[in-house]
Amino acid sequence: MRNLTSLFLRYGSPIYRKFRGYLAAGYSYATLDITDASGNYFQDHKGFSYAISLEENLHTFKNISFTLEYAGYIDDDTENFTMSGISAGFRASIF
């Protein structure tokens, strides 16, 4: 993969006991750099994206949270191409 760019709008639940979930929807664009027997070429894919995530704030450190997210970046039926992923994150608030 040469690049993956996504733009999401996120809707989250209220924080309940330092835990919350959120849904996101948006648009993704990916460029693949493919090398095979016929040579090297690029392939672009774009489309609707979505994500489902869980976030937990730590009790001891109120400004630190961890997230776990599943995202469906691209589902292109015309070219039989699907790109999705699971990610884990760490966030620290400065203010």
Q: Give pLDDT, residue 52.
A: 96
Q: Which residues pair with 24 in a beta bridge?
A: 10, 51
Q: Which residues pair with 82 in a beta bridge?
A: 75
CB 1 within 8 A of CB 33: yes
Q: Going from the first residue of the chain to its last (95 residues), give the mean pLDDT of each consecutive group of 10, the final group possibly shorter.
A: 90 80 94 84 88 85 87 85 91 79
Q: What phi and psi, each to the nearest 5 degrees, are found at residue 58?
A: -75, 145
